[in-house]
Structure formats: structure tokens, C-alpha cells
Structure 1
Amino acid sequence: MDQLFFEPGWKPTPKPELAKRVAAAISEDGGVFDGNNSGTLQMRLEKAHSLIWLDLPLWITFPRIIRRLVRNYGTVRPDMADGCPERFDMEFLRWAWTFPQHSRPRQEIEFEAFGKMKYRLASKRDISRFLRRIERTGTTWDAVEPK
């Protein structure tokens, strides 16, 4: 999602252009779409055949964000838009820290309303089990029974 959302220099893509980019990205079958941009979530959910929600606690996610920042500072990560080198961004860190209050409730509603195959992975253990089931079956996650 970050590759579509950001223009060089960390400028947000205008909403109409972002919708076009997302529509193009989801027009083909297959693939995984990562991100929580609420403005395009409905169109992505309509196209999705499965939903995997990494509903991890802040004590796991926030240290990972800090490690990612330190490890990649000044470089453009492969999952980021061109021209957007990793930087110390207090506004983003504040957003990430308060994510459970401002965005998680909406995600819970979207997850519960999703009428197709869905997986909620709320711990490292859930993720490990999920990946082991995929390895054991030799298939993709759509062959793993939802939890």
C-alpha cells in the first residue's frame, strides 16, 4: 500500500489517483495486498477472496517499527515508494503508538463483516501455527481452515 500511497518526498498521492492505482493493482488475479489505508479498504475487500488480519499487540509492533527505522534509516526500503527514504517521523510514531485506539476498532468491524475466508492472527504463536499449516499442506493459505 505504501508504494501506491506515497509520491517521492513522502507526499501522499491525491485520493482520486490513489483509487486508480489501487484499482489497477487489484485488477489482476492473485497476489497479496498489504496495508490498512481506510480510503481504499472497501474496494480491496470486495476483490479479496481471503483476509489475514495481523492483529498484534503494541508491545510487538512498536519495537519492530523502531528496529525497522534504525536498520533502514536514510535508505528506501523495497516495500516503500521510490524517493521515500526511511526517516525519523514523530507524527508517524505517534500514529503507530495510538493505532489501537484510533484504527483497530474499525478494523475489527471490517474483519467481522468480511463474508469470505478470514484469519485473525493475534500473536507470534498464531502466525507460526498458520505458517506451519501452510507448509504442512504444501498449499496456499486459502487451503488452510480459518480459525
Structure 2
Amino acid sequence: MKFINIVGTTASGKTTFSRQLAQKLDLSHIEMDDLFWLDNWQETPDDQFFLKLQSQMNAADEGWVLDGNYSRTLPLKLAKLDTIIWLDYSFRLNFYRSVKRAISRAMSQKPLWKSSNNHETFRRSFLSKDSMILWMINHHAKNRQKYLKMMHDPQYQHLQFIRIASPKQAAEFLQKIKSVP
């Protein structure tokens, strides 16, 4: 477990889990949202996004923990990827976390990523077609189907899939990981 991608639906805790795992394993943490989102919620074009991601992965030749789904980056990641950890939490928990996170972020107005000025607002969180809550509602089941299919697809059998179904399991998993001195 040296080249790892943490996947899961919005508000599953990918970034927090990834940071903790990267720290324990002494690997680089790469936050894909930070690479993708430009100021004012502008998206990085795919060719530039892929270059940014490739550069970050190349700079971390000792290993990395990527957080984020971004299925279109899979061919790029597969060159080194050895493990996918899927935070597969219930719809109810993801919905609760999405709402709680949206409120907290809208109130704090803190930028979401280092590389952009993006922050949440109540309007964007609750009244917009771009709402992450709405995105979670529309994609939770689709993501589950996608990762279940991928786990059983022969072309990905060389990857270690770890499916974590609750925050308790995530904490237990991290607890079992031996920290690198």
C-alpha cells in the first residue's frame, strides 16, 4: 500500500481520512479538489488538470494518497495505483454530513482549498443547481454501483480494494496502520 486513492461520495470524509493515512504512512497527500477548482468556482480544463495531477504524483515517487473520485483521471492514476479505499457510508450519514458541512462552511466563509478563493454560501449550498448536497443526493447510489462494479471487474483485480462502511471502521482501519518512524 504505497499508491492509494481514497474514494467515496461527497461528505464521506475523504480528505480527512486521506490526510491521516498519508501522515501515518509518511506519504504525500494530494487533494484532487485543490488541483481541480480555480478561483470563483471555475473548473480546470482536463488537459491542465491532468498535468497538475501528473506533476504532483511524479513529485511523490515514494508514494501518495490521493483523495477524490474524478473517474476521468483513472487511466492516469492506474500507472502506479495499487490500492483503492472506498468510504462507502450510508445515504443517511452522507446526507447528514453534507448538510452539516454546508452550514458550517457557509457560516465560516473560509476558503475551501489552498489554491483557490472558493467558499460556500447558503445560496450555493441550498438553493443552487451546483449544490454539493444536491450532487450527493443524485450521485450516492450511482457511486455505489460504480465502485461495486469496479471491485468485481477483472481489469482491476490487480488493485487492492478496501471497502469501509462506517466512520467506526475507518477509525479502526487507521488505528491498525503502523506509523512510519
User: TM-score category by the smaller chain?
Assistant: 0.7 to 0.9
Are 2:40 and 2:118, in contact at CA under 8 Å, matched by a contact in 1?
Answer: yes
Aligned to 1:55: 88
Query: What is the root-mean-square deviation of aligned Cα atoms in Å?
Result: 2.0
C-alpha separation between the residues in 1 aligned to 2:165 and 2:79?
A: 23
C-alpha separation between the residues in 2 aligned to 1:53 and 1:4?
A: 21
1:3 to 9, 14, 34: 34
1:75 to 110, 123, 147: 110
> Are residues 1:84 and 2:118 paired?
yes
Q: Which amino acid aligns with 2:55?
A: A
Aligned to 1:143: none
In the TM superposition, what is the alpha-carbon distance from 1:40 to its structure 2 partner?
0.7
Aligned to 1:118: 161
Using CA pairs under 8 Å that are at least 6 residues apart, name the structure with larger relative contact order, 1 or 2: 2
C-alpha separation between the residues in 2 aligned to 1:53 and 1:117?
A: 11
Aligned pair count? 136
In the TM superposition, what is the alpha-carbon distance from 1:117 to its structure 2 partner?
2.6
* Greater displacement, 3-12 / 82-91: 82-91
1:95 to 132, 135, 157: 135
C-alpha separation between the residues in 2 aligned to 1:76 and 1:111?
A: 35
C-alpha separation between the residues in 1 aligned to 2:136 and 2:34?
A: 18
In the TM superposition, what is the alpha-carbon distance from 1:24 to its structure 2 partner?
1.0
Q: Which runs of 4+ in 1 moved over 4 A?
A: none
Name the TM-score, length of structure 2 as normaliser.
Answer: 0.66
In the TM superposition, what is the alpha-carbon distance from 1:103 to its structure 2 partner?
2.8
1:95-135 Cα shifts (integer Å, max 9, x gaps): 1112123333222223332523331101223213212212x
Are 1:26 and 1:47, in contact at CA under 8 Å, matched by a contact in 2?
Answer: no
Name the TM-score, length of structure 1 as normaliser.
Answer: 0.79
1:12-71 Cα shifts (integer Å, max 9, x gaps): 111111111111121122221000111112322332222211111111112112222222
Question: Percent same amino acid at aligned positions?
Answer: 25
Structure 2 unaligned regions, length at least 5: 1-31
Are 2:83 and 2:160, in contact at CA under 8 Å, matched by a contact in 1?
Answer: yes
In the TM superposition, what is the alpha-carbon distance from 1:139 to its structure 2 partner?
3.8
Change (3 A) 1:103 1:81: farther
Structure 1 unaligned regions, length at least 5: 141-147
Aligned to 1:37: 70
Q: Which has the higher strand share?
A: 2
Q: Which amino acid aligns with 2:147?
A: Q
Aligned to 1:132: 175
C-alpha separation between the residues in 2 aligned to 1:38 and 1:9?
A: 23
